[in-house]
Structure 1
Amino acid sequence: MTQLSVVVSNCNSVDRAEISIHRGRLNIKYGPNGLGKSTLAKAIVSQIRGDDTLRELMPFKNRGKVGASPPSVDGINDMASALVFDEEYVQQFVFQKDEVLKNSFDIFIKTPDYVAAMEAIDLLLSGVKQALANSAEIEQTISDFKELRDAFGKSKPGTIPKNSKIHKAFGTGNKTENIPLALKPFETFIKSPEPSKWIGWQIKGNDFLKLGDNCPYCSTPLLAEGQKEVALAVEKEFDATAVGHLNTLKAVIERLGKYFSEKCRENLEKVTKTKIELTGAELSFLTGLKADIDGMITQLEGLRTISFFSLRDVDQISEKISPLKIDLALMDKLDSAETRGIIDPVNAQLQELLARVGKLTGEVNKHKGKIKKTIEANQDSINAFLKSAGYKYTVEIVAEDQSYKMKLVHQDLSNHLETASRHLSYGEKNAFALVLFMYQVLSENPDLVVLDDPISSFDKNKKFAILHELFQGKASLRGRTTLMLTHDIEPAIDVIKSTKDIFQGAQPSASFLSSREGNVKEVPITRDDIQTFAKICRANVTALEDPILKAIYLRRDYELRNEVGFEYNLLASLFKGRPVPTLQTATENRDMTPEEKQVAEASIQEEHMPGWFDYDALVSVVNDTNAIRSKFLATEVGYEKIQLFRILNIDHDDDVIRKFINESYHIENEYVMQLNPHKFESIPEYVIEECLRMLPPAQTVA
């Protein structure tokens, strides 16, 4: 099916709407604000995503009402994904702190070709990675090595800072292994699994000993000589934090024990159980151990993270891989059977990889070349748009660790803008966001693309530049099912009429939406429907039968053509209800002579069909409130209702409504191209309702 008939029911102010969506085409839905275009978009997207948000669109009038029909959308059951451009998209996805668009790597770089190339490279590296993965304990081992390394603090080679965890734990002797005689009564607690907790708890109670001679924990009298001193001795001999470090490091060393050489384990046993301050030789042993641990961590991390990204900027890949082989002869403190059980298989795989380093180099370089072309194509396209739209910004896609990110640059600044949202205007943000959204669509390939009033706020040149970028060319939304909702007629004019050849690839269709009493009606817009308002007025003068309505459009036609002579003045006098028409010019303000009136009548008759224009007969209708009231109720066209309402000369009590009726619609009609208001209902429903409210009651004829 190439066309979907979508029915939206019971969503916010929309009781029912039927709209068509053509697959693989740009579908423009144009209509005034307030009729529910955004509601239609939300309802359709909610139904597609199945995220249970459709129920949130329940109309207020139905909430809490038993048996009320729930919101529903029919006709799009075979669509499974949708992407929406609206204000929320701009706020959530565009202009992140460190990149222009969230997940710019996934959107601009991670194409199917990219994924395939990464898989080919990963296959070549899989032997090394698998050798590491086969060691179930490797992650814990690396973590333990790092914890032991960090315990040395930020030391210079050959030194151990006194504020480091390892110096605090063992530097002055291990008193948990060598408990002073006076503290033997506490041996059970000091040698418990977590002695630091007990020591901390015991020390806290010391502040209360001075309050009396009873134990602050059990209230037992401390009468024997020296009992208080014994209690206080714990604080003198032990530091709870240092003991905590000691206990933790002991556990780490025990877990790592099998990776230490036999000699290293013996030396560690001595160091960690020494009674006195560490000697120079013991400190030298520890710093040597730290050096071996540093080297092992560097090697293992390098092996674990070997990938395209770690090889991306390397000129000679063999020179990057060769040093990753671990030589335990140079790390003799870590030379054990268990260590070799991990290292030997990895070294063997590295040797095999070096035998195929030529193929690996070729794959990496080929991948780099494709990425470079992708980056250049994306940058050039976006920057060409920015230039054509008159923006002083460009974008750059730069390499980062394990990724690529899009950055923003201003032509007057050499560095990237870290906080783009602070520098861009509202219009600039929207323009950027729209083009970036297009690339996200190209990346994710949704079933439906929704553009909710995307370009109404831009000037004409930028509107066209954005439309051109979105729907012209191969790297665009051309050929995708796109629903554009707008209250701006210009997109329809551009793609349907004035520059339609440029947008043929998008196969655009346009419709006009209007709403009355909760029912949204759709009327297709064809190329011939977009006309100058002067041409529209003349067509209506010819087509309509009611002489008052014909005169309404004819007066507007004279005004648009700036032909404000006798004919225009005669029509203006008619709508003022003047029995004797007047002539008002820059130099005159007087009654028309009978001859002037006759000439004007004859001219109107001759140019616009004879037999329908009789000034005296029509002015009597204008002055008949019942007649004008009946015509107001009879027509279904909002524009005509407003003009008839103006004839009644009712001063509306609301300044905003009065301005709309008397001025705003006329100003809007000054656009070069318009839709015929007799066919396309463009007057907001609330304005018609206000006119109806102020309509005088039918008058009884005496």
Structure 2
Amino acid sequence: MHIQIENCNVIDSGSIDIETHKLNIKYAINGTGKSTIAKAIQAKVTDNEDGLKQLLPFRYEDNADEHQPSIVGLEDVHSIQIFNEDYVNQYVYQPDELIKDSFAIFVKTPDYDRNMEEITQLLERISQTFQSHPELDQLIQTLNQFIFGFGKATQRGLSAASPLMKGLGKGNMIHNIPQGLESYAPYLQHTEGAKNVAWIKWQLSGNDYLEMADQCPYCAGSIETTREKITRVRNVYDAKSIEHLDHLIEVYTALMPYLPENAQQQLQTILNNAANITDDQKHFLQAVKNDVDCLYQKLCNLKSTGFHNLKDVSQIENTLRNKKIDLPNYANLNSDLMRSKIDVLNATIDGVLARIIELRIKISHQNTLIQNIISKNQKEINDFLRYAGYHYTVSIEESEGKNYRLLLHYEDHREAINAVQTHLSYGERNALALLLFMYSIKRETPDLVILDDPISSFDGNKKFAIVNMLFKDPGYLREKTVLLLTHEFGTVVDMVHTMKRNFGAVSTAAFLSTRNGVLQEQQIHADDIKAYPAIAEKNIAESNDPLNKLIYLRRLMEFENNKNDAWQLLSNVFHVGDGTREIPRKCVGNGIGNPMTPDEIQKGTEDIKSYIPDFDYQTAYQRMENRNLLITLYDSTKANYEKLQIYRLIFIGRAMNVVVQKFVNETYHVENNYMFQLDPRIYDTVPQYIVDVCDQAINELREVQHA
């Protein structure tokens, strides 16, 4: 894929290439626009136009129409997954598991689904029975509503706060209208659509106006003789109790056909009570509830029969037989209608039992598969944690309502860590999150995976442990199209050079640079990564100016920690600006020692000539004293690394920008710890802002000299 990007943050224009089914490492210093590339690709693939527009460079805000962010070349990419802080914040370290939807990621494989489908087919007679007899679902609902009417259980029996006692506790006031209120029967007994409840609410709302006049608040007629009657409705009825009563009548009426005749008669008597429910009636209702409770649970369990409640292979037959319903044991539900429904269900269970051996084999196979999947995933993750030096382990455990969850433990501790954000360091969280991301990619299988600077916070061993886990054979990101954006050069060294035999065939690397808004890409091959001595020797031989040759030679000696007479002589060349080096002097710590002896000067000169045959100390000394010559050399050199070294020489004995000084001394002078490097004359790894500061200082110096 050839991807072109324009007008996105620091990138005005440029392109990168991504090879499919490979790890594409893009190495770049900070400020190049790595995250911008990731965001632009993500916005384009997900059709997030607003997200792409947000990448508009600030300098174009007043002229946005002519500089709209754009990215092309992703026509074959339809799905994308990106590892960045947003992924960590959204998916990882949930309150009760390490990653959202652990079951789908770590257990629910295609083989799992295939086996589950076979088990479901063997058990489908049970689910089909409920589908073919929709009245069974209605029966379950009615039983549940009957149970609900009893409210919370109390030691004294029926709770006074239960819908049952609120609706029937004082008798059925709809069926038994008090004497003197019979004229309201058409309204009180109109239960359709709960109109009786609405009427009572309406009736009671008018009571607030009875004291205002001797007229009816509804019809404005005289209420001199009916005031007491109207007030009595308020004293006898309240809308909430009638609402409970209506619902109870509806539920009990639906349940009655499933009860034997004597139970129906008793229940109807209770419904028609003119007064409080008696203790004997409460005892009867509680007995019915006990039967309903038990039957309801059995029906619900039967309907949900599946692998999750048949896992114990040795008990499958007993479990299924226990799901059959022995109706005679439910004295208050043993009716002909109920028996007709239960017989259908029991026959269904018998049909499944006829294939019990086949069912047992398939469930046993599924149990074995799950254990193997869990064992494999746990071992992979725990091996990584151990080899990377993290003192934690994970376990994949079954949890009611959650299927399976991935949990974290401190080593040798069984208790799971729930507050992961508190216990793990930033680096530990990031490493584990990246590992979990790998497993989610296994499930999602996107067209493109982007890793946005994922391993910069780890030390060397942990970095390699992570990369090895992601891309080793059969790592879950191996042979997928992956874009790895990083400012960590060690990753390039491992993947392209040191461990080429492990990763070379599935990875490619390039160096990205953005200069004045132009993004450029340079391929990095194995032979581009060299030990510094090889780079130094090459540049000593190829540099045109003797001064550049000396720069590389001195650093070569520093790299080899070879501070001999040659190094002493070169140090004097590079400190000419302090005015004390016409006769070379020894460097002692940070100070100046005694003059070098003629023999030491001769020995140092001979060693330098083995690299630079025409070297002469006095000639080099005189050139170093000529700042105009150094400025000309600064202007003409193409490599920014060499510019920085010449800049340092120009400003010896002068005030130097401390940022540049620190960058030169620590990054390029003597303290670069990389054994392997890219040639700084070919790969421009000097940040643009450093070069800009140097350019400005050189221009100011030039102006001073010309004044």
Q: TM-score, normalised by structure 1?
A: 0.90
Structure 2 vs 1, CA of residues 590 and 439 (structure 1 numbering), >3 Å: closer, same or farther?
Answer: closer
Instruction: For residues 530-574 of structure 1, give each alpha carbon's deviation from its aligned partner in whole angstroms, at most 9, with x where no partner exists.
Output: 233343222211111122222222222232233334433443333
- 1:570 and 1:581 in contact (8 A); partners too: no
- 2:378 and 2:396 in contact (8 A); partners too: yes
Instruction: For residues 449-501 of structure 1, give each alpha carbon's deviation from its aligned partner in whole angstroms, at most 9, with x where no partner exists.
Output: 22211111111121122222222232442222222111111111122222333
Match of 1:429 in 2: 429
Distance in structure 2 (CA, Å) of the matches to 1:342 and 1:629:
100
- Range moving further from structure 2, 299-308 or 590-599: 590-599
1:420 partnered with 2:414: no
Distance in structure 2 (CA, Å) of the matches to 1:195 and 1:622:
108
SS of residue paired to 2:523:
strand
Distance in structure 1 (CA, Å) of the matches to 2:362 and 2:666:
69
SS of residue paired to 1:674:
strand
Structure 2 vs 1, CA of residues 215 and 116 (structure 1 numbering), >3 Å: closer, same or farther?
Answer: farther
Match of 2:21 among 10, 21, 24: 24
Q: TM-score, normalised by structure 2?
A: 0.89
Structure 2 vs 1, CA of residues 598 and 426 (structure 1 numbering), >3 Å: closer, same or farther?
Answer: closer
Letter in 1 for 2:490: E
Q: CA deviation at 1:507?
A: 2.4
- 2:586 and 2:593 in contact (8 A); partners too: yes
SS of residue paired to 2:415:
coil
- 2:99 and 2:436 in contact (8 A); partners too: yes
Match of 2:695 in 1: 692
Distance in structure 2 (CA, Å) of the matches to 1:106 and 1:340:
41
Q: CA deviation at 1:679?
A: 1.2
Distance in structure 2 (CA, Å) of the matches to 1:481 and 1:363:
37
Q: CA deviation at 1:26?
A: 2.0
Q: CA deviation at 1:147?
A: 2.0
Instruction: For residues 45-91 of structure 1, give each alpha carbon's deviation from its aligned partner in whole angstroms, at most 9, with x where no partner exists.
Output: 33334444434433333446364253333333222222222222222
- 2:571 and 2:587 in contact (8 A); partners too: no
Distance in structure 2 (CA, Å) of the matches to 1:419 and 1:231:
64
Distance in structure 2 (CA, Å) of the matches to 1:581 and 1:449:
61
- 2:130 and 2:137 in contact (8 A); partners too: no
Letter in 1 for 2:282: L
Instruction: For residues 488-520 of structure 1, give each alpha carbon's deviation from its aligned partner in whole angstroms, at most 9, with x where no partner exists.
Output: 11111122222333435x622222111111222
Distance in structure 2 (CA, Å) of the matches to 1:355 and 1:447:
47
Match of 1:147 among 145, 148, 154: 145
Distance in structure 2 (CA, Å) of the matches to 1:216 and 1:527:
101
Distance in structure 2 (CA, Å) of the matches to 1:162 and 1:496:
78
Match of 1:485 in 2: 485
Match of 1:548 in 2: 547
Structure 2 vs 1, CA of residues 589 and 661 (structure 1 numbering), >3 Å: closer, same or farther?
Answer: closer
Structure 2 vs 1, CA of residues 455 and 160 (structure 1 numbering), >3 Å: closer, same or farther?
Answer: same
Matched length: 695
Amino-acid identity (%): 35
- 1:570 and 1:600 in contact (8 A); partners too: no
- 1:94 and 1:433 in contact (8 A); partners too: yes
SS of residue paired to 1:100:
strand
Match of 2:404 in 1: 404
1:292 partnered with 2:291: yes
- Range moving further from structure 2, 319-328 or 149-158: 149-158
Distance in structure 2 (CA, Å) of the matches to 1:125 and 1:174:
46
Match of 2:166 among 143, 164, 168: 168
Q: CA deviation at 1:235?
A: 4.2
- 1:569 and 1:581 in contact (8 A); partners too: no
Instruction: For residues 196-248 of structure 1, give each alpha carbon's deviation from its aligned partner in whole angstroms, at most 9, with x where no partner exists.
Output: 455456656767767x5567956969873672x54543443234433322222
> Which residues of structure 2 form unaligned runs of 5+?
none
Distance in structure 1 (CA, Å) of the matches to 2:208 and 2:268:
37
Match of 1:682 among 682, 685, 695: 685
Instruction: For residues 317-357 of structure 1, give each alpha carbon's deviation from its aligned partner in whole angstroms, at most 9, with x where no partner exists.
Output: 11111122234444454456664564443332211111111
Distance in structure 1 (CA, Å) of the matches to 2:216 and 2:599:
119
Distance in structure 2 (CA, Å) of the matches to 1:258 and 1:335:
11
Distance in structure 2 (CA, Å) of the matches to 1:637 and 1:649:
19
SS of residue paired to 1:57:
coil
Distance in structure 2 (CA, Å) of the matches to 1:408 and 1:693:
54
1:35 partnered with 2:37: no
Distance in structure 2 (CA, Å) of the matches to 1:150 and 1:208:
38
- Aligned ranges 1:22-101 → 2 under 5 Å: 22-52=19-49, 53-63=51-61, 65=63, 67-101=65-99
Structure 2 vs 1, CA of residues 366 and 595 (structure 1 numbering), >3 Å: closer, same or farther?
Answer: same
- Aligned ranges 1:112-131 → 2 under 5 Å: 112-131=110-129
Distance in structure 1 (CA, Å) of the matches to 2:267 and 2:657:
91
- 1:601 and 1:614 in contact (8 A); partners too: no
Distance in structure 1 (CA, Å) of the matches to 2:428 and 2:301:
43
Backbone CA RMSD of aligned residues: 3.2
- Aligned ranges 1:301-380 → 2 under 5 Å: 301-313=300-312, 315-331=314-330, 333-334=332-333, 339=338, 342-380=341-379
Distance in structure 2 (CA, Å) of the matches to 1:656 and 1:701:
26
Distance in structure 2 (CA, Å) of the matches to 1:230 and 1:349:
60
Structure 2 vs 1, CA of residues 585 and 695 (structure 1 numbering), >3 Å: closer, same or farther?
Answer: closer
Match of 2:613 among 601, 604, 610: 610
SS of residue paired to 1:18:
strand
Distance in structure 1 (CA, Å) of the matches to 2:122 and 2:516:
67
